[in-house]
Amino acid sequence: MLDVIVVGARVAGSATALQLARAGHRVLVLDRATFPSDTLSTHLIHQPGVAALARWGLLDELKATGCPPLERVGYEVAGIRVEGCGRGVDGQRAAYAPRRHILDPLLAGAAAEAGAEIRQGCRVTGLLRDTTGRVVGVEGTHAGRAFREHARLVIGADGMRSTVAGLAGAPATVEHPRLTCAYYSYWQDVPADLELYEAPDRWVAAVATHQATLVLTYFPQSRFEEVRADAEHHHLQQVRATAPDLYERLQGATQVERLRGTGDQQNYFRQAAGPGWALVGDAGHHKDSITARGISDAFLQAELLARHVGGRLDGDPAILDEALAQYGKDRDAALMPGYEATLAVGRLAEQHPQRLALLRAIRQDSELTSIYFDMVAGTATIGDLYTPKLLALL
């Protein structure tokens, strides 16, 4: 019997498998895809996620792929521009936005090197249970053949439409309506670092990635049917209306690859775990991508779950279940503030005069600017920003 089966080999699954394999557990990772392959993503890894890659010894590998560091952030709203960078995490001040067909195999390769078996091109069709109803493995198909594998713990890391979550009957414990729809394109010869532009009902971002610049546009969910009817037109017009300087840089540049987009940006927490099973990444928690927290949050969950279950996979199942329950509580406590902040941003509301006054004050001071961009990265709160220095400037 295996210690762990992880269903899903992208950022959440491979990161979790890496932690558990390095801890000496026998781990099997299953994925429907074959790598390298792409997936919908904002690509952005905020500083907490970058610090995790550094802890795992993988940051230098990522740098070696040619992924550019994002060392400066520009945020523009109502004619106010705030520019700088955050204070960072564990000495990591730059963010990175790797292409997923590069990042995902890098993480899966690291998990394999640590001892995990990576089995691609698999389809999981069911969970195996013992006489008590406890999950004890999975069944599915691989290369046209049915298979069954048993393990003490099955982890669903298979995304927003998680098969494992559905088969386990994991209910949504928190849920909110969809807020935005998002589209993105890749451009060559468009210089950028990390740029954010906000206007009422509109949001635009530009992010340097592997050999291209990613341009993202966000629209209210209520406009999804209208936008997708002519997505290319609406995407570019959104850039022109919200970020005219960026639009000028696109003139004469080359768009590479097709436009991608989605209107299915769900907002929820699912029950994190149950007898013999757990969820990580989007399988257990998803929010609008407008704050680009998904990858960093997946890394956090991977470390959190590994810390809770490590050393408890070959003993009393009741002890493992206690650890899984605590994982769920800690996951929710860690991710709820970012979830609530993302809902606030995703509503694309008009800018309140008090908020604009706050931004005018922040941009006058580099320390306040850094704290503000820590908030963007999810490492600071509004309470951290309200220092005597800020109050003096308001």
Q: What pLDDT digit, counting tens, does each position of 115-153 carry?
A: 999 999 999 999 999 999 999 999 999 999 999 999 999
Confidence at 394, pLDDT banded by 50, 70, 90? confident
Q: Which residues are bridge partners to 42 per DSSP?
A: none
CA–CA dist 86, 369 (Å, integer): 7
Ordered by where they begin, the domains of the chain are: 2-43+99-176+266-346 (3.50.50.60), 180-262 (3.30.9.100), 353-393 (no CATH)
pLDDT of amino acid 282: 98
Q: Is the pLDDT confidence value at 351 over 90?
A: no
Confidence at 350, pLDDT banded by 50, 70, 90? confident
Question: 181 near 221, Cβ under 8 Å?
Answer: yes
Confidence at 356, pLDDT banded by 50, 70, 90? very high
pLDDT of amino acid 263: 97
Hey, what are 298's tokens?
A: 């997946």
pLDDT of amino acid 98: 98
- Report field, pTM of the whole predicted structure over 0.85: yes
Give percent of the chain with pLDDT exceeding 70.
100
pLDDT of amino acid 158: 98
- At residue 34, the 3 state secondary structure works out as coil
pLDDT digits (tens, 9 = 90+) for 93-113: 999 999 999 999 999 999 999
Confidence at 231, pLDDT banded by 50, 70, 90? very high
Confidence at 72, pLDDT banded by 50, 70, 90? very high
- The mean-pLDDT minimum among 24-28, 171-175, 296-300, 311-315 falls in 311-315
- Mean pLDDT, residues 87-91: 96
pLDDT of amino acid 315: 86
Q: Is the pLDDT confidence value at 393 over 90?
A: no
- At residue 391, the 3 state secondary structure works out as helix
Mean pLDDT (the chain, rounded): 97
- Mean pLDDT, residues 241-264: 96
Hey, what are 376's tokens?
A: 């963007």
- The mean-pLDDT minimum among 150-154, 270-274, 309-313 falls in 309-313
Give percent of the chain with pLDDT exceeding 90.
95
Confidence at 292, pLDDT banded by 50, 70, 90? very high
Question: 163 near 30, Cβ under 8 Å?
Answer: no
